[in-house]
Amino acid sequence: MDVMWSPWRSQYIGTFKDEVEKSKEDCFICAAAQDLDNDKERLVVFRGKYSFALLNKYPYNNGHVMITPYRHIGDFELLNSDEMNEIMQIAQKVVSALKTIYNPHGFNIGANIGQSSGAGLPGHFHLHLVPRWSGDTSFMSTLADIKVVSISLDDTWNSLYGILNESK
């Protein structure tokens, strides 16, 4: 691949306004964080002190979980050490629970930070945890641009919530 350098574009890029910051009122993560009585409807599977885990309503794969701080912040570097530590501790718990429930062959764990990276909700940081199986990308996604998710969100929520909260 050839690279074309155009440093003069930095002046143009610098004029962009932060149009991606959504208000707390429009943030489905903030709504789930505050709605303590409706975890199942909000797809919340585990609550910690500083962060929580919820199922992705539009999963890339069965068992796709997002782990996020309660605070409405979009910048990774603004997470405090309590939030960062707890997010990773919850990620470990979720991986262990998903191994018990679905026995995946591996996991993708990552975050899309900023709209340009593909973040669907750039105003509220969240870590994606996606179970993977050998061959989980089939001819359906290759030929028809369709992803088959074979386990319902309701079944996944029941299983994960049960395991993650049994010792609480």
- 105 catalytic, yes or no? no
Q: How far apart are CA 135 and CA 48, in angstroms?
A: 34
DSSP per-residue string spanning 101-121: HH--SEEEEE---SGGGT-SS
Phi-psi region of 161 (alpha: psi -120 to 50; beta: other; left: phi over 0): alpha
The tokens describing 60, both together, are 């890339």
d(CA 164, CA 48): 11
Q: Which of 64, 124, 126, 128 is catalytic?
A: 126
DSSP letter assigned to residue 62 = T
Torsion from C-alpha of 148, 152, 153, 155, nearest 10 degrees: -140
Say how far apart CA 62 and CA 77 lie, in whole Å: 30
Active centre residues (catalytic): 126
